[in-house]
Amino acid sequence: MTPQFISENQVYALLKQAGINTPKHFFFSSVADIDNDWFEADEKVVVKGMADELWHKSDNGALKFVEFSQEKLADTSTSMESVVKTKFNWRGTLVTEKVNFSKSNDAPSEIFVSLQRDKCCGAIISLGFGGILTEAWARELKQSLLVWPASVYTPEEALEELEEHWLGKILLGEVRQQAPLTSRKQLLEFLQSLWKLDELMADKDIGLLEVNPFVVDSSGNFIALDGVGQSSLSPHVEPCPVPLQDDSFLKPKKIALAGVSEKQGNVGGLILENLRQSNLSDNDLVIIKPGREEFAGIKCFDSVSALIDEPVDVLILALPAQSTVETIQQLCKQNGGAQAIYIVAGGIGDGADQSGFGEQLESLVQNRRKNNLWCPAIVGPNGLGMLLSPLKLNSLFIPQRKLNVKFSPESQVALISQSGAFLITRLSRHSNLSLKYGFSIGNQLDMKLSDFMALMQRDKSIKVLGLYIEGFVDGDVCAVAKLVKQFRSENRHVIIYKGGRSALGQEAAAGHTGAMTGDYFVQKRLLQKAGAVLVESFNQFNAVFKWMAAYPELHTLGKLAIVTNAGYETVGSVDTLGDNDSGRLYQINGDDEKQLSKIFHRHKLQGLVAPSNPLDLTPMADEDAYFDCVEAMIEFGAGVVMLGLVPLSEQLDTHQLSQAEKFAKRLRKLAQHSGRLIGVVIDAGVPYQDYKSVFEREGFPVFDGMDMGVLGINVLKRAR
């Protein structure tokens, strides 16, 4: 269906319903219908041509200023129609009053407003500099549109942001030598009317309205001088949750696996090897393998048709794409056999799918759900597997010798990744990272990111949830944002890395997982406002995830103190903070300096170390000196202490490790009793991995460089 164009006269009717002022106007489709009662003779009016898909009237000869008379209107309209209809389907003529409006001195005061009901993010209200120089003013003042996803912003919150924008400052007279054009009360009422207009758009299935410009009259009221719009081609609809019970997926009692062979490196065989290490017994596992009664001591079925009598909670399909689709079709035909299906194969709905398997499977699932027919919950395709620590269950097809998963049923951390490789490389990079749950969700053909988040939201033990996502299913970003808000309302944290932000990144994501990436700027606004911590790089994700995994009950961040034995780390830490964030450093006062001087004297460091923050203790400091200085920074009032230990110092126990272990335990008690955050930096190579592990075992976030630790704090501070 083609979206219908909405012309200015139709836009005015909508604006009036929302309580928004428009110029005095009338519309006629024939010169015989010109109404002389609207304007005085010779009154200056604006004549505008209305035509289908005519978005820019002044560029197409559809805008004239004349003095009002029936004869002039007839001549102007006839002449205008003859020009416009060569390109567009003519509708008629709109006549409006010529509005006198207030202007600021040498500053832009016209306003551009767009309301769009996006199929991915829902209602979006945008506002910025208006008039024909919209883009030029934005570039000159280095400020773009303000964008407010209506589902997470209120008019009051929008006003707070507008007041910090140059346009808001101009309107309220907060710019030098500028008189206010309107009041804060009137500006709020204007924003409230835009939110009402959005509700009208939803009722009337309108996808887009643009008004450029809005102006302010002498009384401070806002008036629309122009407007166009479009009906909705595909209205925003949040996808329905996949009907999946927690117990059948997070606590499976029986699992079936298809695609196992004796071939070395066979994916199904690797999955089976990992499954057999779980708390499930061999009697809880079933293999689908034609012509075999058993495989490696585990019972086999010829096909999934046997599952109708012996159903399983989860069926893992490590089969080629075509066989995968045929297997699911068989399950649907027999109306049962598995509550959830994990599709390992790619080539279904992604860049490698040349046979339409993704469309076939998606159509099957949608039709069965629409008609209330039985249908399994489907994860993937392109799903690497999952980790369920309570069952010590690992369904990844990565062998144990490559990735030794650390199960932790008591962990408060979970990670959901569209990319399986992202999941396993996080686990490999951070050997002390313990997850209660880890999921590779693949293409989201059926089970979406929000479905997995809902499972995690219901498990109140999960305090930190990390997300790596390349694309949102249409409408799902709103569902995700609502779940983020639920997490934050319970002081639980969601960290998001959104891949596919650039044009090239979008192409890469589509080729790999078939992801629909969408407009990242709007997604970012929506998710940040909901309370998510959005990161822009893998380094940021790693740093933030380390901090939050170590301190899942994190409430607030205080000032930062840095204690190290390397001068370059004191310099690098401040450089990482940058000028804009330097105020985050705790400022040492006179009493603090005296206290630090006493500590230096006690450890025979007087004359070698200056009391400051960052604090360079030099390589002469031992573990006791470090501890006393960290404790002092916390007593002074620092909320976060970065502890830099360059282990090549002779004073540190890096080989026997008895002193190091004692030091790490004292630090852990200090962090627990004080409620403050302590991070550890060990900038050294492979020979010192055991030394790093001492602090990791005590639960500290351990970084390879001071810049990474401070980077994580920077991101967390901005997000709060």
Measuring CA to CA, how many Å separate 116 from each of 42, 57, 207, 325? 39, 21, 6, 37
**Do 654 and 602 belong to one domain?**
yes
| pLDDT bracket for residue 171 (50, 70, 90) | very high
Residue 53's SS3 state is: coil
pLDDT at 513: 35
Asked whether residue 637 carries a pLDDT value surpassing 60, the answer given is yes
Look at residue 335 and tell me if it is in a domain: yes
Q: How many residues does the chain have?
A: 720
Contact 245, 44 (CB under 8 A): no
Q: Is it the case that residue 334 has pLDDT exceeding 70? A: yes
Question: Is residue 53 located within the same domain as residue 117?
Answer: no
Q: Are residues 672 and 699 in the same domain?
A: yes
159 and 62: one domain? no
Q: What is the mean pLDDT of residues 264-278?
A: 95
Give a yes or no: residue 3 inside a domain.
no
Amino acid 235: pLDDT: 65
CA distances from 172 to 22, 105, 188 (A): 22, 13, 12
Is 7 part of a structural domain of the chain? no
User: Domain total for the chain?
Assistant: 4
Q: Indicate whether 121 and 61 sit together in one domain.
A: no
CATH number for 84: 3.30.1490
Are residue 287 and residue 399 in the same domain, yes or no? yes
Percent of the chain with pLDDT over 70: 94
Specify the higher pLDDT residue, 569 or 560.
560
| Rounded CA separation 226/98 (Å) | 12
Residue at 590 is within a domain: yes
Tell me whether residue 385 is in a domain: yes
Residue 221: give the domain boundaries. 111-231
588-625 pLDDT per residue, tens: 999 999 999 999 999 999 989 999 999 999 888 999 99
In tens, the pLDDT along 79-88 reads 999 999 999 9
The verdict on 181 and 272 lying in the same domain is no
Boundary (domain end) residue, out of 97, 126, 156: 97
- pTM listed for this prediction: 0.84
Asked if the structure places residue 406 within a domain, the reply is: yes
Give the full edge-to-edge strand order of the sheet including 90-97. 25-28, 90-97, 44-51, 63-67
pLDDT at residue 574, rounded to an integer: 79
Q: Over the stretch 131-140, which tens digit does the pLDDT of each residue have?
A: 766 666 656 6
> Do 350 and 427 have their domain in common?
yes
Spatial CA neighbour of 472 closest among 427, 438, 522:
522
For residues 289 and 305, give the distance between their C-alpha atoms in angstroms, rounded to a whole number: 12
Going from the C-alpha of 119 to that of each of 258, 268, 476, 720, the distances in angstroms are 37, 38, 9, 29
| CATH number for position 349 | 3.40.50.261
What is the per-residue pLDDT for 507? 46
Separation of alpha carbons 191 and 194, rounded Å: 5
Tell me the pLDDT tens digit for each residue of 145-163.
898 998 889 999 999 999 9
pLDDT digits (tens, 9 = 90+) for 490-526: 999 999 999 866 544 444 433 333 333 347 888 998 9
Give the model confidence (pLDDT) of 41-57 as tens digits: 999 999 999 999 999 99
Highest mean pLDDT among 135-144, 335-344, 706-715: 335-344
How much is the pLDDT for 23? 97
**Are residues 407 and 384 part of one domain?**
yes
Pairing of strands 298-301, 294-295: antiparallel
Domain assignment present for 8: no
Q: Are 652 and 622 in contact (CB under 8 A)?
A: yes
Do residues 588 and 532 both lie within one domain? no
pLDDT at residue 505, rounded to an integer: 40
For 41-44, the CB contacts below 8 A with 24+ separation are: 41/68, 41/69, 42/67, 42/68, 42/69, 43/67, 43/68, 43/97, 44/68, 44/98
Numbers of helices and strands, H then E, in the chain: 22, 30
| Average pLDDT value over all residues in the chain | 90
In the predicted model, is pLDDT for residue 112 greater than 90? yes
The better pLDDT of the pair 257, 514 is held by 257
Q: Are residues 512 and 576 in the same domain?
A: no
Residues 205 and 252 in one domain: no
